[in-house]
């Protein structure tokens, strides 16, 4: 299902504002030197704005490409820096961080450990190889989780790391923005041109979602604990992968 939100100027602007964490229209207006009513008009889907002379300034403030914001051409972000060939996935050319696999742990639904296996002859061996995590830097953004609605996957105070440009595949965890408002965290079963088939993230019956009811669908890369958060301007902590 394509990102229909990008089909209009208001949709692209709204997406860029949410990605940059700049959803306060008055603050954004002050940053580029216009009245709040101007931003309100540009964000109004029903107003049908086709563009603005303030597009270059908005693009700079929101960290997106001006030609994408103005006309929807290409991708919203600049291309990621080149990476070594051996760190690319074969199918999509996505930069990967390799993480070794150390044993197997079996958990109950409440997250409590039941057993740990490390490959002894009497137990199932740990899988070989490593995991390739699609850590895409500027091409990801995060959302803070409030409340316990996503626990234990992402409890209150944790962060969802999202990749809005990654292609979707069955079994992916996705965050759906609904046209009538609200968000849904779901498991993707099928992604078709005319519909999607999803299930609740914690399990349940499958259901069909139509394009007319959806603004955007974003891949959920992972959930991160609060300790990974850093204030603006400070060094970003790096996970240990060894």
pLDDT in tens, 28-56: 999 899 999 999 999 998 888 888 888 99
Domains, the chain? 4-71 (1.10.260.40), 97-133 (no CATH), 137-228 (2.10.109.10)
What are the pLDDT digits (tens) for 164-217? Answer: 777 888 999 999 988 887 888 999 999 888 889 999 988 889 999 998 888 888
Phi/psi of residue 226, nearest 5 degrees:
-60, -25
pLDDT value for 61: 87
| Rounded distance between C-alpha atoms, residue 153 and residue 157, angstroms | 12
Q: Please check the confidence at residue 5 and state whether its pLDDT lies above 60.
A: yes
pTM of the model as a whole = 0.55
User: Which distant-in-sequence residues (6+ apart) come within 8 Å of 147 by Cβ?
Assistant: 156
Percent of the chain past pLDDT 90, that is, above it, reads: 17
What are the pLDDT digits (tens) for 110-161? Answer: 656 565 555 444 445 555 677 766 665 557 888 888 888 888 888 888 888 8
| Rounded distance between C-alpha atoms, residue 206 and residue 187, angstroms | 9
- Which residues lie across from 176 on neighbouring strands? 184, 217
Higher pLDDT, 22 or 68: 68
Helix segments in the chain, DSSP class H: 9-20, 25-32, 36-43, 55-62, 66-71
């Amino acid at each position: 299902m394509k990102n229909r939100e990008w089909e209009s100027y208001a949709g692209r602007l709204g997406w860029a504002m949410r990605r940059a964490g700049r959803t306060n229209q008055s603050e954004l207006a002050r940053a580029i030197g216009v009245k709040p009513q101007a931003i309100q008009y540009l964000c109004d889907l029903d107003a049908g704005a086709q563009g603005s002379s303030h597009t270059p300034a908005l693009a700079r403030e929101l960290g997106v490409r001006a030609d994408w914001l103005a006309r929807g051409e290409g991708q919203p972000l600049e291309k990621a820096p080149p990476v070594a060939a051996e760190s690319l996935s074969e199918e999509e050319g996505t930069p990967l961080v390799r993480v070794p696999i150390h044993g197997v742990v079996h958990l109950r639904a409440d997250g409590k450990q039941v057993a740990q296996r490390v490959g002894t002859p009497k137990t199932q061996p740990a899988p070989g190889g490593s995991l390739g995590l699609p850590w895409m830097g500027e091409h990801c953004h995060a959302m803070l989780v409030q409340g316990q609605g996503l626990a234990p996957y992402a409890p209150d105070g944790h962060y969802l790391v999202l990749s809005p440009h990654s292609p979707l595949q069955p079994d992916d965890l996705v965050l759906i923005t609904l046209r009538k408002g609200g968000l849904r965290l779901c498991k993707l079963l099928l992604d078709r041109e005319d519909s999607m088939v999803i299930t609740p993230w914690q399990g349940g019956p499958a259901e069909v979602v139509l394009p007319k009811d959806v603004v955007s669908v974003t891949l959920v890369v992972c959930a991160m604990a609060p300790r990974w958060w850093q204030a603006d301007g400070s060094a970003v902590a790096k996970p240990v992968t060894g």
